[in-house]
Amino acid sequence: GGLHSLFVKSGKLFFGTAIDTNNFNDVAYQAIAKNGSEFGLYVPENSQKWGPTEPTEGAFVFAGPDAVDAQARTNKQMFRCHALTWHSQLPQFVTTTAWTRETLTAAIQAHITALVRHYAGACYSWDVVNEALNDNGTFRDSVFFRVLGTDFLPISFAAAAAADPAAKLYYNDFNLETLRAKADGAARVVQLIRAGGARIDGLGFQAHFVVGGTPSQASLTATLGRFVDMGLDVTLSELDVAHNSVPAAAGALQQQARDYVAAVGACLAVPRCVGITVWQFSDKYSWIPGTFPGKGEACLFSANFSRKPAYGAVVDLLRSA
Ligand code: G3I
C-alpha cells in the first residue's frame, strides 16, 4: 500500500497532496498523483484562491478548481478547499476599493457564498481564514483587519457555514508549530470566531518545516493536543521539509527523513489529527525555491519522481503503526 492506504489503516481520513492544473500535462507526475493508494485527497495549490476565482468583482472563474475536483472524483479521492479570506493572492479590486465596514463585509460574504456554494458537497473542508497572524501572535496588517478589525473572522466563518453546513471549517496558518506566541494568537482566533457566534471545526497547521529545525514529535503532539482540547479537529495542511542548501547531501536526506517521521508520527499520536496534506509531492513543483532561492528539495519524491529516503521512512513508520 502507498501513503494514503497505510494512513487510513491507522484510522486517518487522508494522506493528500497539493496539486493544480499546471501539473496535469506531466505524465510521470500524473502517474503518482492519480494513484489513490498514494494520495487520497487533493487541494488546489493556487487556482481556488480569491484572485484567480473572482478576478473582477462578481465575475467568478471556477475552471481550475473544477478540473482539480474532477480528477479527484475520477480517482475517488477527497477534495480539500483553499482558501477564502487571505491577504495574499487577492484580486486588484479587493486591495484598491475604498471599502467601508458595510461594503467590505458584503464583498467577503459574496465571495465566500459563491465559492462555498459552488463546491458544496464536494469539499471535505475549507480553509476559511488563512494566515491572519504575525509571528508574534498579533493580527497581520491586511485590508480585512484594517477595515473590520477582528470581525472579519466570524463574518467569514458564518458565511461559509451558511453556504455549506456539511463542510468542515478551518483556520489555517504557519509557524504555529514552533512559535508559542503565534499558537496563543491562534487560540484567540478560535475564541473570537466563537464569541462572534460562528462555528469553527478545525485548525490547519501548515507544517512548512526546515531540515534539522522540525519540531520533535513530542512537541508537535503537545501543540496539536492544545487545539484538540479546545474541541477542534487538527491537520497538517501543507507539510514539506526544506533543505537550507541544495543539492542536499546524503546526511541531510537522512535528517529530512527523520523530520518527516516526527511530523507524521505526531499526527498518528493525536486521534483528532484527521489527515496530512503535503504541499506538492515532487521537488519538481515545490514552491520553496521560487520564494527562498537556494533552498528546497522539500518533498517526498525527487524532481525526477524517485522516492527519497523520507518517503521510505514514512512508509516504514506507517507499516509499523
Ligand atoms: O500565474 C502567474 C503567471 O501568469 C505568471 O507568469 C508568473 C510569473 O511570476 O506567476 C504566476 O503566479 C504565481 C503563482 O504561484 C502560480 O504559479 C505567483 O507568481 C507565485 O507567487 C504563486 O506562488 C504561490 C504562493 O502560494 C502565493 O502566495 C505558490 O505556488 C503556492 O505554493 C503558495 O502556497 C501557499 C499557500 O497557499 C498558503 N500557505 C503558504 C503556501 C506557500 O507559500
CATH code assigned at 291: 3.20.20.80
Separation of first and last alpha carbons in the chain: 14
Report how far residue 31's alpha carbon sits from residue 242's, in angstroms, rounded to the nearest whole number. Answer: 24
Within 10 Å of residue 58's Cβ, how many Cβ atoms? 10
**Cα distance between residue 240 and residue 50, in whole Å:** 24
Q: pLDDT tens-digit profile of 84-130? A: 999 999 999 999 999 999 999 999 999 999 999 999 999 999 999 99
How far apart CA 218 and CA 207 sit, in angstroms, is 15
- CA-nearest residue for atom 11, ligand 1, is 46
In testing the pocket of ligand 1, which one of 287, 292, 295, 299 has its CB within 8 Å of the most ligand atoms? 287
Q: Confidence class of residue 25 from pLDDT cuts 50, 70 and 90?
A: very high
Number of helices followed by number of strands (H, E) in the chain: 13, 9
| Residue 303 per-residue DSSP state | T
- Cβ(299)–Cβ(314) below 8 Å: no
Distance between CA 252 and CA 213 in Å, rounded? 12
Q: Whose CA is nearest to atom 23 of ligand 1?
A: 287
What residue ranges line ligand 1, CB within 6 angstroms?
A: 45-46, 88-89, 130, 206, 238, 287
CA distance 85 to 79: 19
Q: What is the pLDDT of residue 183?
A: 98
- Tally of structural domains, the chain: 1
Question: DSSP labels for 107-127?
Answer: HHHHHHHHHHHHTTTT-SEEE
How many whole angstroms from its chain centre is CA 50? 15
What would you report as the CA-atom Rg of the chain, rounded to the nearest whole angstrom?
A: 19
57-79: per-residue pLDDT in tens?
999 999 999 999 999 999 999 99
CA of 82 to the centre of ligand 1 (A): 13
- Bridge partners (DSSP) of residue 44 are 19
Residue ranges making up the domain that contains 251: 3-320
Is the pLDDT confidence value at 268 over 90?
yes
Which ligand 1 atom is the nearest neighbour of the CA of 279?
32
How much distance in Å is there from the Cα of 46 to the middle of ligand 1? Answer: 6
**Average pLDDT of 287-302?**
97
Buried b (16+ CB within 10 A) or exposed e, 284-320: bbbbbeeeeeebbbbbbbbeeeeebbbbebbbebbee
Interface confidence, given as ipTM, is 0.94
Question: What is the rounded average pLDDT of the residues 186-210?
Answer: 98
What pLDDT, in 10s, does the model give residues 233-252? 999 999 999 999 999 999 99
Distances (CA, A) of 92 to 50, 86, 98, 141, 143: 10, 13, 12, 17, 12
Cell numbers describing residue 175: 509557524
- One-letter amino acid at 81 equals C
Q: List the Cα angle 20/21/24 in 5-degree steps.
A: 105
Which residues belong to the active site? 131, 238
CA-closest candidate to residue 263, choices 229, 227, 226, 224: 224
CA distance 45 to 287: 10
Share of the chain above pLDDT 90, in %: 99
Ligand 1: which of 19, 43, 46 to mutate, most ligand atoms within 8 Å of CB? Answer: 46
Total-model pTM: 0.97
Q: How far is the CA of 131 from the centre of ligand 1 (A)?
A: 15
pLDDT at position 1 over 90: no
All three cell numbers of 78: 477527497
